[in-house]
């Protein structure tokens, strides 16, 4: 890893900084502590973030991002090609991921580029302006790994919590949406959100639907004032509909019916979120929602669960690293273990609401 020497950092006062992150929901949110660290370390700098067009909404209204726009790996080839006529736009750029085209674009528009790609892949002039931060998978938390790139520019983080901002108008939308699900309105009752599934290529991270059913039986028997909303995309809609059928007037589905920002708004109204390891679980963490999160042994919460979160219970798959494989069923996490966590978190949430 190449880093700026201390004297250079102390003398450096950037005015324009660029962050590029083209990734899934969770990976996009995992970068927010690094962006905030840049803003706190260099408060006079204008920070531009380029993200995947389908992930931009996750980053809207964050106070430490001044400019937000989209970029894709497939359309970046011509972007910034004429920067030599105008000079470099940015004092430095930080590029997350291993895409050569994105790093090449950053080199066209920024004086310095921090990247995870080795400088050997570029011409000497470009390589001389690169700071390479090597990957260390499975040895540190994902947030810490992403912070190391901005630390190469002298930035330091005061907190590692994820960030997402919901507007007042969106909160009104969420309140109305949840109320309209219930005949006669919800009268301010306690809402629990469920995320049943990860994405298809990592379905081994999913807790069995039967386990969710047993959890709901316990929850709705012991806490009859609770209402449950199932979140998720269209792929989750069928499983959500089955839970609605089994628990009428108690369980409701919004799966596949909302945009990312609408999902965030509804999450912000929850008393508790229970979910498997996937993008919406990172989103719940970014919103500070009380939560119980279930992690597979191939993707442990030790390395992925939200940090600096005051109301989080992480439940890890019990298999050891040596035993673990993608066939290790999430059924190994017992319903009773999750139920105890849910009871504890609902109790904490209720106590907090009374303060």
Instruction: Provide the CATH number for the domain around residue 244.
Output: 3.40.50.2000
Tell me, yes or no, whether 175 and 308 share the same domain. Answer: yes
Task: Give the residue carrying structure tokens 């006079």.
Answer: 44
Tell me, yes or no, whether 177 and 241 share the same domain. Answer: yes
3 state SS of 80: coil
Contact 155, 34 (CB under 8 A): yes
Domain membership of residue 160 (yes or no) is: no
What is the span of the domain harbouring residue 145? 6-151
Give 10-residue mean pLDDT values along the chain (355 residues): 47 92 96 98 97 96 97 78 64 95 93 91 89 86 96 96 97 95 82 94 96 97 94 94 96 96 97 97 97 97 96 97 96 98 82 44
Tell me, yes or no, whether 179 and 320 share the same domain. Answer: yes
Taking phi first (over 0 means left), then psi (-120 to 50 degrees means alpha), and beta for anything else, what does residue 258 get? Answer: beta
| Cβ neighbours for 252, distance < 8 A, ≥ 6 positions apart | 181, 182, 227, 228, 229, 230, 244
| Cβ neighbours for 217, distance < 8 A, ≥ 6 positions apart | none
> What's the pLDDT at 80?
61
Taking phi first (over 0 means left), then psi (-120 to 50 degrees means alpha), and beta for anything else, what does residue 157 get? Answer: beta
CA distance 217 to 147: 42
Tell me, yes or no, whether 180 and 248 share the same domain. Answer: yes
Burial class (CB in 10 A: 0-12, 13-18, 19+), 68: middle
Counting the structural domains of the chain, the total is 2
Tell me, yes or no, whether 343 and 200 share the same domain. Answer: yes
Beta bridge partners of 253: 230
Q: Which of 291, 319, 324, 330 is nearest to 307 (CA)?
A: 291
């Amino acid at each position: 890893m190449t880093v700026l020497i201390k004297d250079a950092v102390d003398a450096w006062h950037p005015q324009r900084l660029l962050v590029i992150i083209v990734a899934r929901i969770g990976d996009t949110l995992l970068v927010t502590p690094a962006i905030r660290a840049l803003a706190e370390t260099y408060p006079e700098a204008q920070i531009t973030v380029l993200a995947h067009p389908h992930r931009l909404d996750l980053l809207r209204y964050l106070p430490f991002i001044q400019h937000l726009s989209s970029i894709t790996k497939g359309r970046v080839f011509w972007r910034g090609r004429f920067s030599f006529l105008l000079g470099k736009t940015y004092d430095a750029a930080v590029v997350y991921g291993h895409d050569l085209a994105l790093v090449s674009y950053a080199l066209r528009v920024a004086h310095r580029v921090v990247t995870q790609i080795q400088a050997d892949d570029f011409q000497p002039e470009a390589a001389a302006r690169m700071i390479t931060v090597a990957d260390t998978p499975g040895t540190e938390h994902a947030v810490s790994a992403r912070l190391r790139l901005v630390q190469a520019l002298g930035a330091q983080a005061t907190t590692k919590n994820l960030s997402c901002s919901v507007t007042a108008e969106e909160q009104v939308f969420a309140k109305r949406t949840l109320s309209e699900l219930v005949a006669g309105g919800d009268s301010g009752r306690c809402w629990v959100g469920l995320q049943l599934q990860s994405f298809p290529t990592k379905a081994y991270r999913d807790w069995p639907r039967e386990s969710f059913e047993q959890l709901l039986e316990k929850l709705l028997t012991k806490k009859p004032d609770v209402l449950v909303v199932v979140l998720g995309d269209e792929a989750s809609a069928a499983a959500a509909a089955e839970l609605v059928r089994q628990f009428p007037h108690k369980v409701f589905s919004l799966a596949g019916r909302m945009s990312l920002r609408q999902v965030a708004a509804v999450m912000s109204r929850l008393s508790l979120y229970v979910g498997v390891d996937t993008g919406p679980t990172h989103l719940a963490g970014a919103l500070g929602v009380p939560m119980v999160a279930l992690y597979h042994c191939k993707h442990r919460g030790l390395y992925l669960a939200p940090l600096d979160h005051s109301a989080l219970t992480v439940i890890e798959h019990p298999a050891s690293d040596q035993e673990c494989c993608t066939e290790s069923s999430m059924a190994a996490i017992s319903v009773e273990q999750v139920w105890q966590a849910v009871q504890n978190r609902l109790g904490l949430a209720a106590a907090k609401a009374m303060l």
